[in-house]
Amino acid sequence: MEKINYQNLRIDAENICVDYNGKVALYDANLRLKPGQICGLVGMNGAGKTTFFNALTGFVNISKGKIRINGESVRSAQKDQTIAYVPQNEGIDSQFPISVWDVVMMGRYGSMNIFRCPRESDIQAVKDAIERVDLTDHLSTPIGNLSGGQRKRTFLARAIAQRASILLLDEPFSGVDIRTEKLISELFIQFKNEGKTILLSTHDMIHVREFCDLVLLINKTVVAYGETSEVFTPENITTTFGGISPDFLFGPES
């Protein structure tokens, strides 16, 4: 078995537990990801996917265990803009009076001064990010007037503008059009080549097989973790989804 070099790990979560006022949401969860790896996070609603993301970003505190991001604490990962979180479409207030440009600029806030005055480099980063997700025609469009796919791309652009080395994506493919789906999958390949690490949650089993090198099956704790080809078996999926067979969940041959 090859020896793991902990310094080279982007994400190293060891036996982490999260509870909300005594209610356990996640326990004894482990995850190790290297640069350039794409990992799928699969589980039922309420299985702890969002909690896992929240623990990695530091949005909730872990009650046990240890998280190292690039060998450092979550706190310094926050300071270094290491992690970008791309929320679910349902997780944001689409009626908020804010434009595409302003949302993407928020990706730069962490590295700006206290007044958040954009410098030339910030403006350039935002321009480039918006161009990469193909929204240049919608710079000043309020996010409320965008389609689901365009909104998803806006938040992807925010993550790009942030120049994070780790991307956490909550259901990146839900409620998006085919064009966005194609663009996201192209971006994933680019991110991989740039050495970024991606952790994405999804309900779609086809996407897991298509993009993910690794898969993490969770149901309050890790059910199985490893190479997609080895771990993503009907038996493991059945266990993850509480005994319901994958055929029933996703149809045969999925």
Partner 1 sequence: MELCSFLTLDSFLTDPLTHDFMRKALLMSSLVAAVCGFLSSYLTLKGWALMGDAVSHSVMPGVVVAYALGLPFSLGAFIFGVGSVALIGFIKQKSRVKEDTVIGLVFTGFFALGIVLVSKIKSNIDLHSILFGSPLGISLSDVKQTIFISLLVVILLSIFRKDLMLYCFDPRHAKTVGINVLFLHYLLLTCLSLAAVVGLQSVGIILVVAMLITPGATAYLLTDKFDNMTVISVLSAIISSLIGIYVSFWFDLETGGSIVLAQTFIFLFAFLFAPRYGIFKLKKLFSVYK
CA distance linking residue 131 with residue 138, whole number of Å? 10
Taking the least distance from each CB to partner 1, the nearer of 98 and 249 is 98
Selected from 64, 116, 179, 182, the binder of partner 1 by CB under 8 A is 116
Q: State the minimum distance, in angstroms, from the CB of residue 130 to partner 1.
A: 17
CA distance linking residue 196 with residue 38, whole number of Å? 9
b/e string for 78-101 if b means 16 or more Cβ within 10 A?
eeebbbbbbbbbeeeeeeeebbbb
Taking the least distance from each CB to partner 1, the nearer of 21 and 193 is 21
Q: State the minimum distance, in angstroms, from the CB of residue 101 to partner 1.
A: 11
Taking the least distance from each CB to partner 1, the nearer of 109 and 225 is 109
Taking the least distance from each CB to partner 1, the nearer of 53 and 173 is 53
Cα-based distances in Å from 224 to 29, 64, 210, 232, 237: 10, 20, 19, 8, 9
Taking the least distance from each CB to partner 1, the nearer of 155 and 173 is 155
CA distance linking residue 33 with residue 239, whole number of Å? 23
Burial of 150 (0-12, 13-18, 19+ CB in 10 A): buried
CA distance linking residue 191 with residue 187, whole number of Å? 6
Question: CB within 8 A of 128, min separation 6: which ones?
Answer: 160, 161
Selected from 2, 3, 5, 21, the binder of partner 1 by CB under 8 A is 21
Residues of span 70-109 touching partner 1 by CB under 8 A: 75, 78-81, 83-85, 87, 91-93, 96-99, 102, 106-107, 109
CA dihedral (160, 150, 105, 76) positive or negative:
negative
Taking the least distance from each CB to partner 1, the nearer of 111 and 174 is 111
Taking the least distance from each CB to partner 1, the nearer of 166 and 217 is 166
In 10 A of CB 178, how many CB atoms? 8
Selected from 15, 61, 145, 147, the binder of partner 1 by CB under 8 A is 145
Residues of span 180-219 touching partner 1 by CB under 8 A: none
Q: Does 61 bind partner 1 (CB under 8 A)?
A: no
Q: Does 31 bind partner 1 (CB under 8 A)?
A: no
SS (H, E, C) 202-231: CCCHHHHHHHCCEEEEECCCEEEEEEHHHH
Q: Does 142 bind partner 1 (CB under 8 A)?
A: yes
Q: State the minimum distance, in angstroms, from the CB of residue 24 to partner 1.
A: 17
Q: State the minimum distance, in angstroms, from the CB of residue 246 to partner 1.
A: 31
Binding site for partner 1 (CB under 8 A): 21, 54, 57-59, 75, 78-81, 83-85, 87, 91-93, 96-99, 102, 106-107, 109-111, 114-116, 142, 144-145, 158, 162
